[in-house]
Structure 1
Amino acid sequence: MNNAPIGVFDSGLGGLTVLAELRRLLPHEDMIYLGDTARVPYGTKSSASVTQYALQVAKKLRLQDIKMLVVACNTASAMALPAIQAALPDLPVIGVIEPGAQRAVNTSQNGHIGVIATEGTISRGAYTSAIHHLHEDAVVTGQACSLFVSLVEEGWISGPIVTEIVRTYLEPFFTLDTPVDTLVLGCTHYPVLRSVIAEVMGPEVRLVDSAETTANVVRDYLQTSGLRAERSVSGYTEFQVTDGPERFARVAGIFLGHEVESGLVHLVDL
């Protein structure tokens, strides 16, 4: 069981930022990444639809004898995590909301925390609830930045136009009576824009990367539960998608920092 793969899923490509962090921290683990590219994005869909889709993806990965499931999608974590955990009670399931909320609470000095995410994650209030569970007096300000996803997937991650778009979305944070000192990147696409977001927010605001924090939680869980892979060689990564394997392979390099050969991306049915 220790050498079984870790399953990672997202509605599309954003979860690759989580995968990249997992690969960095856990180089000996085998991993299967499944992107539900036929139904991306989840962020604009209803809770019922997201839950239905997420359960289908989770069960598909479960059939591949994974030892853990990482829900590398903020929208699916916000809307479907309890349903997935209930449907797969024998499988450790980790989402991206709780790790990000914990890091934000630990990082903030003034208790004023900003969250940027997709419309679905913001409207659901998942980060607000998770942060208040840990720090009931925290002040949480959310801002939907839906266009960020399109920027990243088109490879627009720097330059004056990107900076101006990011500044426009983040403008509400500069009008608060008490400024935020911590900003959660509450969509797995957003770490790709980290340098621009940091430039716009300024050095006094600390950024919390949900990809990085989730990977840390996965590493710690595997260690404490005795599920770390027992091998000295590097693990493999298998990529699966529900549509457009060629496009996935082409765009994946933006998230992973290296190209993915199209022949390594497999089309699957749910």
Structure 2
Amino acid sequence: MKIALMDAGIGLLAAAAAVRRLRPDADLVLASDPDGMPWGPRTSQDVTARALTVAESAAARRPDALIVACNTASVHALPALRARLGADLPVIGTVPAIKPAAAGGGPVAVWATPATTGSPYQRGLIEEFAADVRVTEVPCPGLSDAVECADEAAIGRAVAAAAARTPDEVKAVVLGCTHYELVERHIREAVQRPGRPPLALYGSADAVAAQALRRIGEQPAPEAPAQGNLTVILSGREAALPAAALTYEEGRQLRAAGPARREAVHEQ
């Protein structure tokens, strides 16, 4: 079994680690676009073109499914990706977890990139799944870039700024960018208010990993031997995991599992 994941950068690590936890025996292909990132400021047409290129580099490795582990690409390019790759390759998009967060009651904050915040796509999800819950959209300028570079100081500043825009009474925060799931601890510490109930954080990694297995008729088997291979493609070039990826637990888990131990660190 082979599962491919794609993103502009290392935001795909959270979903890849989730797949690895469910199926340690699955081969993984991680395809990203460091030469073209960030995708957020690009036009919809440009995002679609770059996403198609990345997806085709992953599809060339003949995976059983492709996870689009990127909210921006899912918003702009999902129909084009499915049309280009055909019915034989399941393509699983990433949707902010607004529905489960709202089901737990409000108030809810949705942290997302400035381009996604206030977009018709996100507003549509809020109207569909959280019409009866108070939702605050919180733009997080610079956070995904800081995560991509593993810049602790910049991560701290961006998280603190977003936390200041988050109402004190929120019970849940939706992580509306896959990069944010890599710094859940920082976000929780910044938003959790003294004396308030424990904050719930809602990411998408576990859900898309489970959906990928369902789409190809497989079941979770976390007890399976950790024999899955790891292939990393950076803007079309086969390489090792970027050094920044190894600053996060998810990246270290991927490199440490099974044959992936053979990978060297790609120095940037």
Checking the alignment, whether the CA contact within 8 Å between 1:37 and 1:243 is kept in structure 2 is: no
Which of residues 199, 205, 212 is equivalent to 1:205?
Answer: 199
Secondary structure of the 1:191 match is helix
The aligned length equals: 251
Q: What is the distance in 1 between the residues matched to 2:237 and 2:245?
A: 12
Q: What is the distance in 2 between the residues matched to 1:39 and 1:88?
A: 21
- C-alpha deviation, 1:146, in angstroms: 2.6
Q: What is the distance in 2 between the residues matched to 1:152 and 1:247?
A: 19
Which of residues 31, 56, 73 is equivalent to 1:59?
Answer: 56
Pair 1:50-2:43 in alignment:
no
- C-alpha deviation, 1:257, in angstroms: 4.4
Secondary structure of the 2:232 match is strand
Pair 1:235-2:202 in alignment:
no
Alignment of 1:95-244 (within 5 A): 95-97=93-95, 100-106=97-103, 108-110=104-106, 112-157=107-152, 162-174=155-167, 179-202=169-192, 203-222=197-216, 225-226=217-218, 234-242=227-235
- C-alpha deviation, 1:32, in angstroms: 0.7
- C-alpha deviation, 1:239, in angstroms: 0.6
Secondary structure of the 2:110 match is strand
Checking the alignment, whether the CA contact within 8 Å between 2:28 and 2:228 is kept in structure 1 is: yes
Larger displacement relative to structure 2 (249-258 or 18-27): 249-258
For structure 2, list consecutive stretches of 5 or more residues without a partner in the other structure.
256-260
Among the aligned pairs, what percent are the same residue?
29
Q: Please tell me the residue identity of whatever aligns with 1:81.
A: L
Q: What is the distance in 1 between the residues matched to 2:262 and 2:218?
A: 33
Q: What is the distance in 2 between the residues matched to 1:44 and 1:191?
A: 21
TM value normalised by structure 2? 0.80
Secondary structure of the 1:195 match is helix
For structure 1, list consecutive stretches of 5 or more residues without a partner in the other structure.
266-270
- C-alpha deviation, 1:243, in angstroms: 7.5
Q: What is the distance in 2 between the residues matched to 1:63 and 1:244?
A: 12
Checking the alignment, whether the CA contact within 8 Å between 2:69 and 2:93 is kept in structure 1 is: yes
Residue 77 of structure 1 corresponds to which residue in structure 2? 74
Checking the alignment, whether the CA contact within 8 Å between 2:243 and 2:265 is kept in structure 1 is: no
- C-alpha deviation, 1:135, in angstroms: 4.1
- Runs of 4+ aligned structure 1 residues displaced above 6 Å come to 243-247
- C-alpha deviation, 1:253, in angstroms: 0.5
Q: What is the distance in 2 between the residues matched to 1:125 and 1:212?
A: 25
Secondary structure of the 1:81 match is helix
Which of residues 237, 249, 252 is equivalent to 2:242?
Answer: 249
Checking the alignment, whether the CA contact within 8 Å between 1:117 and 1:187 is kept in structure 2 is: yes
